[in-house]
Structure 1
């Protein structure tokens, strides 16, 4: 290693106090440049959930985020553009990884295991545990809570204003149309969810609730054949399960319309709500009156 063409060891052996004083700033800059990337990111925010990943990126510059969840770097789980997510550091969510980053704040979920919570507490980390909101109001409250925790209240208020605007623009006052929203395969969105409320706002009746499905669960085509919905929203119209469902419904002469509902719109609330409501409202206008 050399500094300005002078061998490092030779420079240190020169014995000149004045020379060492001149070299010291250069040495400090060199050592800082050689520091591991993880150490450079210490003190930021670590997120352990793809939904908080998305919300964080909407609230703060990427430079404030020390790490996101590994889920956001997977095409089927992310609500963040993959090129953005893959440009950030990620963790597997283990306590050891997170503690090593020495973050100023960890954004975790209410499902975090007790052992991991205990490890965070022992390490003296500041942790915000977020649940999965099941209503638009709860999602807005979560946006405000995280925004306050990271000093981004103005951006949080702007996100919530966009949500309010989207709700007003999507609201349908006519008769509700029975619809099913499949998340993937035969996994459907049931009653008591954020998507359930958004469907209602946009003028749909969640047929999964009519079939007795609460929250999210499997809804095989055999169950819906006797009383098919008017609309099926699905992210994977080309999938095998969707193709089988389509063929069976056609044999019953069911007047069921199938439309695409992008996978990235079903994962999270917060910043996703305006886009999800806009898509639901567009579909509802297609099947009017």
Structure 2
């Protein structure tokens, strides 16, 4: 059988990203002038690893009206984007691609390939993948760093099937969530955390103001159970992008 090549698909010229995580990968991969808007969160240095770069792009707030007026030929949204916004843009004839969050290193690779294909920037995606894999290899731990616990507001923790769990494992730590059969993100009673006696406690960055959900992180028991507590900047952890390499390095 002789395969007949179909017509090549033209690269989109006016791309809008309305998701913090796709914003960052699109900024890295897009050709000059191809990406015309990113979400407002992309400029927030607490959440975005590319806050400085995002200042070069007009922002959007994920509203259908403002995105339609940008005249995009492709909109990239996250899985948890506003359903009415996505539906309205599609009714108006605008192509919208919805991507799931990347919750593992393999998912990060898939996200890079997917966005590279959407932008018709496969070579740039391949280069970024190669740098990501090389960075992971360079950060491979030489040995076991001990047991660690992830602990967030409202007493939540993350297990092995989460991005945070993958970062912890890549840094050489054993996640105490495994001891309790926790694979995803769920609440972990403070008593169980204390009984686990982790060597290291890793919490999320604090936000301005007073929050009852964060009050548990001030409990005096947390100061006694782990001699080394690291408060990790959320921006390197929150999205499945190659910037997770910085989170791994910070733990090491």
TM-score of the superposition, structure 1-length normalised?
A: 0.71
Change in Cα spacing, 1:85 to 1:218, as seen in structure 2 (3 Å) is farther
**In the alignment, which residue of structure 1 is the partner of 2:221?**
248
**In the alignment, which residue of structure 2 is the partner of 1:141?**
110
Paired with 2:207 and 2:115, the residues of 1 have a C-alpha distance of 37
Q: Which runs of 5+ in 2 are unaligned?
A: 1-12, 209-213
- Secondary structure of 1:271's counterpart equals coil
**In the alignment, which residue of structure 1 is the partner of 2:15?**
45
Pair 1:155-2:124 in alignment? yes
Q: How does 1:15-26 map onto structure 2 within 5 Å?
A: none
CA RMSD of aligned residues (A): 2.8
Retained in 2: the 8 A contact 1:106–1:128?
yes
Paired with 1:183 and 1:79, the residues of 2 have a C-alpha distance of 20
Retained in 2: the 8 A contact 1:207–1:229?
yes
Retained in 1: the 8 A contact 2:116–2:124?
yes
Change in Cα spacing, 1:86 to 1:186, as seen in structure 2 (3 Å) is farther
CA offsets per residue over residues 261-288 of structure 1, 9 Å max, x none? 22221111222132223223x2xxxxxx
Change in Cα spacing, 1:169 to 1:224, as seen in structure 2 (3 Å) is same
Retained in 2: the 8 A contact 1:166–1:278?
no
Moved more, 149-158 or 219-228: 219-228
Q: How does 1:163-178 map onto structure 2 within 5 Å?
A: 163-172=132-141, 174-175=143-144, 177-178=146-147
State the shift of 1:201 in Å: 2.5
Change in Cα spacing, 1:66 to 1:250, as seen in structure 2 (3 Å) is closer
Pair 1:71-2:41 in alignment? yes
Paired residues, number: 236
Change in Cα spacing, 1:277 to 1:229, as seen in structure 2 (3 Å) is same
Retained in 2: the 8 A contact 1:183–1:263?
no
**In the alignment, which residue of structure 2 is the partner of 1:259?**
230
TM-score of the superposition, structure 2-length normalised?
A: 0.80
Change in Cα spacing, 1:88 to 1:177, as seen in structure 2 (3 Å) is same
Higher helix share: 1
**In the alignment, which residue of structure 2 is the partner of 1:271?**
242
Greater relative CO, 1 or 2 (CA 8 Å, sep 6+): 2
Of 48, 52, 72, 1:103 maps to 72
Retained in 2: the 8 A contact 1:229–1:256?
no
State the shift of 1:190 in Å: 3.0
- Secondary structure of 1:270's counterpart equals coil
Of 179, 183, 190, 1:221 maps to 190
Q: Which runs of 5+ in 1 are unaligned?
A: 1-42, 283-289
**In the alignment, which residue of structure 2 is the partner of 1:131?**
100
- Secondary structure of 2:239's counterpart equals coil
**In the alignment, which residue of structure 1 is the partner of 2:25?**
55
